[in-house]
Chain A
């Protein structure tokens, strides 16, 4: 079942088509990656999903019903890219306040805060103020305040920026945990290695439009270029053939691009016949980073101002 469906969303600003006719669906319980270069329209899109902006046109369906910003606030947890907390407010009170604004009762909120503060070893923070925290610490706090009310849909905009590897792993594990317990996570970033590791399904947007939509596995299959890596000590005289082209030649391994009608078995057979000792042989799938660059490259790096109307 789809927890979220976007149908032809549009949001134009005075000089930008920030989001121009984007549609996609998100299945319940997965980790979904929303990718795109700077200024692609990711934040505007997320702001519409969280009810901060109204779309100019189009429809958002949450949980099978038309999205209603006020009543669905409880179902959504949003962690914006620019972290925001009251600097002078005590941390415990602040967490309680934000949880209650989402609609939790005082008792439920307290129980949930206790649970998360213990989990993240933040019990001693209760009476401290946010201005006493380091950047990484306030990041953890922000994450906790986002998920306190156990939202069905958790939207994280660049959740790892500014975190050291230990704390980044802590939050990554929690993201997996939340997904396992039935929450759906939208994860917005332009850090591709994180996406490959975490996300099941991704959408790539650029200049306000969707240019890619699918599971990570399928996208990699779609963009693969028949490149294989062979681990072996190969001499130049072994390469007199037309079934593949050499992409890269190293003393201990070689990268081959197979011709269209060549199958991997043909390559192996060829080398075995040449009496080459093979250590390894595997297909090289493109990284999301490569795909991303390939798709986005060539378009102008910065968005141009345009006249809308």
Chain B
């Protein structure tokens, strides 16, 4: 029996790998992938340039951050920020240099584009297969769970790699042109990329869920965007009524995620797990 289970697991992994591999090749070759890279590079580049301009006007004080502060001052600031409702992890990350001002600024102002761009790249990845019934060719060969996992992994990895490519390109440009002191930025990037891996997982799972649930693809895009934008508005008003409700959507935890605040990490993983489970349930029960 255990041999059968091991064989079944091997088969599912092989199927998932085959679907993910094809998905990655298809997405990388698509125009929309290029659009994702260019759009995100544009957004991040504009924000970065703006910060550099402001930093120049402030005679370098903006990007200096907390470099000149003593321990007591740092503690006081962290406590003050915590009293204002900021996560301690985030306040400490900003003050101790794990989240340098330049990185924080670029991510803070450009991250809003990531969910939309990811939705744009991936909205049709399942829904088009379903609406053209191409799934009928695919799902004779792979289990529905493997198909879903392969699609998710493909979207997740391609989106993440696209973002990392943009970061590397912008950092390289800044380094070559010696735009600012990048030591702390470069040191912070592995943590930031790890955080982004989770952020992208959350939105890949979201995209997978809407793509597996709705049809036709244009409806997926439309409702997917409306929800992403609408949830922010709704939770803003909910937050006015009862403060904790203002932080129910994973999108409210982006900044804390960059500081690897365990609550933010848990929220992103939790949302991703729920979205993936729902997508699996929907696809499993659905007539295709």
A and B interact physically? no
The residues of B with any CB-CB pair to A shorter than 8 Å are: none
Interface residues of A (CB under 8 A from B): none
